[in-house]
């Protein structure tokens, strides 16, 4: 997994701290700036995958910072603002800003928007947590949670769950699953997959229904 480095430029220290805390849960590295000049210096010094800025930075205005960024790079930019003036938004979008979020904001929504921008920018990234309903997979600690309670899975059950969850809403054949989870040199039968799916479903109840059967083909993780 390649590193994801964020820049959070905001006048409010508590906003920067909140974003940094939630970014850390995703294994993101975060740099901070309290004004536009500092932000621009950091942007010229480091390679960022996402830039998050308050719409009204002191010292050097946010619009001017964005203008300088777009002269040399297309790093995704998210603007945060306590104002919802349409002309303000349009001026930012016209200069190449990617997203605009009102304050106060949901940290979960912000992280979700970051994931979308990372995918659209082609950045190869696996989020630390894969979450669907009450099922959560921590890909760093390799712990699976059902309604915040850790459950015990065998190594193959864990790998199978992660494989399906990373390919949400895609029908995966038994052959594809065998090659990806057990490896190309494994000579077991389709029954091996079926057996592990059965025990995996039991271990993640009541969310066992997330793993659907595609009859005559394989399985699908439905989000």
Where does the chain hold its CATH 3.40.50.2300 domain(s)? 5-120
Length of the chain: 223
Query: Model's pTM, two decimal places?
Result: 0.60
Phi and psi (nearest 5°) for 130?
A: -100, 120
34 backbone dihedrals φ, ψ, rounded to 5°? -105, -5
At 124 the pLDDT is 55
Q: Which of 10-24, 31-45, 186-200, 206-220 has the lowest mean pLDDT?
A: 186-200
The pair of three-digit structure tokens given for residue 147, joined into one six-digit string? 């309604």
CATH fold of the domain at 5-120:
Rossmann fold (3.40.50)
Mean pLDDT lowest among 32-36, 85-89, 161-165: 85-89
Nearest to 53 by CA among 91, 6, 87: 6
What does CATH list as the number for 129-221? Answer: 1.10.10.10
Q: What value does the mean pLDDT take over residues 190-210?
A: 95
CATH 1.10.10.10 domain position(s) in the chain: 129-221
- Identify the three-state secondary structure at position 61: coil
pLDDT attached to residue 1 = 43
% the chain with pLDDT above 90: 67
Lowest mean pLDDT among 97-111, 115-129, 133-147: 115-129
Mean per-residue pLDDT, 119-137: 76
Query: Which pLDDT band, with edges at 50, 70 and 90, does 138 fall under?
Result: confident
Residue 50 predicted with pLDDT over 80: yes
Q: What is the pLDDT of residue 94?
A: 93
Cβ neighbours for 207, distance < 8 A, ≥ 6 positions apart = 132, 133, 134, 135, 146
Q: Is the pLDDT of residue 64 over 70?
A: yes
- Average model confidence (pLDDT) across the chain: 90
The 3-state secondary structure of 103-167 reads: CCCCHHHHHHHHHHHHHHCCCCCCCCEEEECCEEEECCCCEEEECCEEECCCHHHHHHHHHHHHC
């Amino acid at each position: 997994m390649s590193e994801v480095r964020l820049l959070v430029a905001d006048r409010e220290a508590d906003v920067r701290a909140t974003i940094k805390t939630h970014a850390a849960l995703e294994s993101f590295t975060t740099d901070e700036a309290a004004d536009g000049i500092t932000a621009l210096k950091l942007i010229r010094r480091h390679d960022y995958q996402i830039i998050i800025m308050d719409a009204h930075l002191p010292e050097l205005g946010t619009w001017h910072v964005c203008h300088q960024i777009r002269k040399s790079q297309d790093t995704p930019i998210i603007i945060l603002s306590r104002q919802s003036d349409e002309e303000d938004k349009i001026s930012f979008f016209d200069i190449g800003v990617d997203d605009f979020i009102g304050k106060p904001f949901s940290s979960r929504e912000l992280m979700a928007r970051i994931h979308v921008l990372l995918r659209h920018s082609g950045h190869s990234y696996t989020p630390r947590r894969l979450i669907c309903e009450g099922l959560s997979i921590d890909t760093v600690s390799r712990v699976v949670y059902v309604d915040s309670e850790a459950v015990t899975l065998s190594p193959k059950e864990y790998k199978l769950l992660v494989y399906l969850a990373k390919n949400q809403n895609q029908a995966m054949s038994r052959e594809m699953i065998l090659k990806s989870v057990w490896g190309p040199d494994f000579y077991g039968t389709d029954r091996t997959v079926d057996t592990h799916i059965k025990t995996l479903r039991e271990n993640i109840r009541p969310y066992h229904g997330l793993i659907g059967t595609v009859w005559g083909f394989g399985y699908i993780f439905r989000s």
